[in-house]
Structure 1
Amino acid sequence: MGEQSAGSARPEGVESAVRAAVDAQFAATLDELQRLVRIPSVSWPDFDHAHLAASAQEIAELLRGTGIFDVVDIRRAPLDGQEHEAEPALGQPAVVARREARNGRPTVLLYAHHDVQPPGDEAAWETPPFEPSERDGRLYGRGAADDKAGVMAHIGAIRALAAAAAETGRELELGIALFIEGEEEWASQSFGNFLREQRELLAADAIIVADSSNWDETTPALTVALRGAVACNLRVETLDHASHSGMFGGAVPDAMLATVRLLDTLWDADGAVAVPGLASADLAVPEYDEARLRRETGLLDGVSPIGRGEILSRLWAQPAISITGIDAPSIAHASNTLIPSTRVRLSARIAPGQDPESAYAALRAHLEAHVPFGARLSFEDAGLGQAFLVETSGWAVAEVRGAMADAWGTDPVDIGVGGSIPFIAELVTEFPDAQILVTGVEDPDGRAHSPNESLHLASFKKSLLTEALFLARLDARTAD
């Protein structure tokens, strides 16, 4: 697909009609979002995946209802690594759609995901996680922000664009493709195969990945840096069977002692990562103080932040390591025994620019070099995800920044994100000439993945309008 010209005509009449359509349709869009939130579409293995099929079907019907697509379908692909099996295991259902561009207009691919995180401790929710509740200008519910609001931002923007074209007597000429994934929260395990199988359907000049955040409730943001991810299960063994802690404690190291001593070597006294070979990136960061960190994270009074350097540098450009799970006897089932083995889940975020394979090698080498008491280590279920840096010089970045400024009434901020979206690297591999824009509908108080996840409704409307204006400007854009 040819590169587009450096600017596009501003279709002023259409843009006024787009704004009017967003206003007129917003209540219906919000109702549809709430309908999606009521579907508990959790993609983790222990949940009922019939709900994923139901949410995919609901979204497909919404897309068919726009009346603008040549193709709307629900498709699955083999899990990555299973593509050559006689009966491969399949990934979760994804919704795809496409309309071809006319008269030299570009094509844009809109990505979001319809699966959600598990609800977690339902007792920690103020209202049930899958019963959307609106209060104080926010919509609460699992997936309300991450990422069913991203799905509805795409659908709402498309409908507003179509309505504006009809209102002004214009023929809609922009090419639009959609990929609404069904397993992003479970590591996008069929993503690579899906892209390869559906390459022709999804090919585009620009790609919007609507799965990030804005700077705050009144300021839009374009995500230009994402940390990569390295995760694995670490097993620590010191005994071939449990032994009486009174009889042998003090002479025999149990696995929990070895695990605690070993894990403590991963950080220095400031809580900064102390693993040689895990790099940092040189990123300029906006001002962000400790008071905001405390407000946005719920850091308790008296508990100090960890790490060194600017706070946003710690979050965007430096490595971080977390222990996200431990398999060991619970307190309820504790007995006076020396524990023979433990298993922990290590989750590391790595700086933009670092290769995840080298980071995983560095992490393993550090653990093997610091294992206490000769304990035995084994590593299982490694997962590696590439970091991402956006090329910001292209026409699509300029267009989306302009649309953000006009929709929000303030200039956007370029941000990094401490989290990871590893599949973006696969988008780059499959569509090397496409410009990738990472946007989002979330805000710092949205609590994605946590109890009481919520969406700030005024920000959501502005994000939807941003995308609608962006699409309208691409619809007026001609190829060189």
Structure 2
Amino acid sequence: MQTKDRVAALMPSLLESLERLVAIPSVAFPGYPAEPVELMGHQTLDLVRAAGFTNAELMPVPHGYPPIYAEVPGPPGSPVVMLYAHYDVQPAPPEQGWTSDPWTPTRKDDGRIYGRGAADDKGGLVAHLGTMKVFDGEPPCTVRLVVEGMEETESNLPEFVLAHPDLFACDVFIVCDMGNLRVGDPVLTTTLRGDVACVVTVSTLQHPLHSGVFGGPAPDAMMALARLLTTLHDADGNVAVAGVSRNPWHGGDLDEDEFRSSADLLDGVGLMGTGGLAKRLWAEPSINAIGIDMTSVAGSSNVLIPQARAKLSMRIVPGSSPEKELDALAAHLVAHAPWGAQVSVERTKTAPPFACRTDGPGYAAARLALEDAFGKPVEEAGNGASIPLLGTLHEVAPDAEFILWGPEDVARSRIHASDESVDPSEIEKLIVAQVGLIERLAGR
């Protein structure tokens, strides 16, 4: 039986497994119940073992939820491939605006399966299960698997990798936590932006003051903070921080109408920045205020605010230094303090960007496998997100190649947002591609 036929025959049971996993609210964030995450870990372990990884185990870790690790040896001297996915998910609060229950997997008229984690990354996990099932648990090369339990929060996997580097020695990492730009059009992700963050505090007064008696001459901290934040972009919405890095982009571009639809922009809202969308998303920095601390609307009164804080997240381009980029952002914030306000910056995060090697045999094999699976030429794309783990894996396996793909089509999947969904055809074709890649690496 041809690979495509074998995968098609497996899909009903694989989608049943996916729906069972989506129904488990495996949110590993602090403050959420541990029982669903633990249940998810054990259910995933059962499925991994049933797929052919008979020696799979939940690995002991000093803190947090355990990763699953497994290995199926191939013929002596054969290449080693490591598969990666994660079993935890983002929260799905009602205020996100879900049109169906996020923990009830729902098949809608468009054929997609809706629910938190359907794409990110339980769909990727199911793709790995299907890949091993095609081989009946006997792949033509050594296959290792790690399924993380805390990817969406403060990950404990880098610490585990550094403590057990021998477990992660391989020729190729297959990271199934990405996706095509749109359904049916195959893409290999080659770059990821990094992520740095800080908390900026603006202080103008020793204590609150009556806004009628002092308002006007005396600056309140919230207005000073707002004015400071506006200096981070120019009039077109480009990042205006001196010293931050930018890259050229030579790959394909994105359709603006499709992007606007995917982002669900409100009527009349324009896009920020200039140049191609792909360049703005994958080769340019971006800065967002992702949190504000000050008096709430409900608790407000007629007083000037003495202090206000904002948490800023800046995505940085491949090849840049997280520390230097954050230094540039901090220097800008201090230098642009309005009205002599006191500005302090607390650095909270430095996650490096990542760029895949694209001149190796693994990458070449992946392109051919993906093209065969989808029946179309393969494009290269970047991704604006960050996966700090990749730098750690590269550290312990410096000669290994990285293949970044997955079932999370950018145009529709809405990962981390309301109505997350996956197209089953993306999982099916991805399994075909993974089988083809492993066979090519084994010389078949």
State the TM-score, normalizing by the size of structure 1: 0.89
Could you tell me how far 1:228 is from its partner in structure 2? 1.1
CA contact (8 A) 1:219 1:410 kept: yes
- Tell me how far apart the structure 2 counterparts of residues 114 and 172 of structure 1 sit (CA, whole Å): 23
Q: Mean alpha-carbon deviation: is it higher for 199-208 or for 136-145?
A: 199-208
Which residues in structure 2 correspond to 1:272-421 (within 5 Å)? 272-380=238-346, 382-421=348-387
Could you tell me how far 1:123 is from its partner in structure 2? 6.3
CA contact (8 A) 1:178 1:202 kept: no
CA contact (8 A) 1:105 1:476 kept: no
Deviation string, structure 1 residues 151-200 (Cα, Å, up to 9, x no partner): 1111111111227xxxxxxx644111111111111142x23211022322
SS state at 2:130 partner: helix
- Tell me how far apart the structure 1 counterparts of residues 224 and 341 of structure 2 sit (CA, whole Å): 7
1:3 is matched with: none
Q: 1:73 aligns with which of 57, 64, 67?
A: 57
- Alignment of 1:240 with 2:200, yes or no, is no
- Tell me how far apart the structure 2 counterparts of residues 31 and 330 of structure 1 sit (CA, whole Å): 45
CA contact (8 A) 2:140 2:438 kept: no
- Tell me how far apart the structure 2 counterparts of residues 273 and 395 of structure 1 sit (CA, whole Å): 38
2:15 is matched with: 30
Could you tell me how far 1:273 is from its partner in structure 2? 0.2
Q: 1:466 aligns with which of 411, 430, 433?
A: 433
Could you tell me how far 1:68 is from its partner in structure 2? 4.3
- Alignment of 1:450 with 2:417, yes or no, is yes
CA contact (8 A) 1:215 1:413 kept: no
1:134 is matched with: 107
SS state at 2:120 partner: coil
Q: 2:407 is aligned with what amino acid? A: V
- Tell me how far apart the structure 2 counterparts of residues 92 and 233 of structure 1 sit (CA, whole Å): 28
Could you tell me how far 1:299 is from its partner in structure 2? 2.4
2:67 is matched with: 94
1:111 is matched with: 84
CA contact (8 A) 1:137 1:458 kept: no
- Tell me how far apart the structure 2 counterparts of residues 468 and 324 of structure 1 sit (CA, whole Å): 40
CA contact (8 A) 1:161 1:472 kept: no
Q: 1:155 is aligned with what amino acid? A: L
Deviation string, structure 1 residues 272-293 (Cα, Å, up to 9, x no partner): 0000011111220313332222
Deviation string, structure 1 residues 89-132 (Cα, Å, up to 9, x no partner): x1322111112232321111101111111103356111111111
1:158 is matched with: 132
Could you tell me how far 1:381 is from its partner in structure 2? 5.3
Q: 1:453 is aligned with what amino acid? A: E
1:10 is matched with: none
Identity of aligned residues (%): 40
SS state at 2:237 partner: coil
Deviation string, structure 1 residues 31-57 (Cα, Å, up to 9, x no partner): 111111111111211211222211111
Residues matched between the structures, number? 442
* 1:40–1:381 Cα change, 3 Å: farther
- Tell me how far apart the structure 2 counterparts of residues 424 and 234 of structure 1 sit (CA, whole Å): 29
- Tell me how far apart the structure 1 counterparts of residues 286 and 124 of structure 2 sit (CA, whole Å): 27
CA contact (8 A) 2:173 2:403 kept: yes
- Alignment of 1:202 with 2:168, yes or no, is yes
- Tell me how far apart the structure 1 counterparts of residues 97 and 7 of structure 2 sit (CA, whole Å): 34
- Tell me how far apart the structure 1 counterparts of residues 398 and 354 of structure 2 sit (CA, whole Å): 14
Deviation string, structure 1 residues 206-228 (Cα, Å, up to 9, x no partner): 00111112121111110011111
SS state at 2:224 partner: helix
Could you tell me how far 1:76 is from its partner in structure 2? 4.1
CA-based RMSD of the aligned residues comes to 1.7
2:224 is matched with: 258
- Tell me how far apart the structure 2 counterparts of residues 137 and 449 of structure 1 sit (CA, whole Å): 20
- Tell me how far apart the structure 2 counterparts of residues 418 and 312 of structure 1 sit (CA, whole Å): 9
CA contact (8 A) 1:120 1:450 kept: no
CA contact (8 A) 1:238 1:375 kept: yes
Query: Which consecutive residues of structure 1, in runs of 5 or more, have no partner in the other structure?
Result: 1-15, 79-89, 164-170
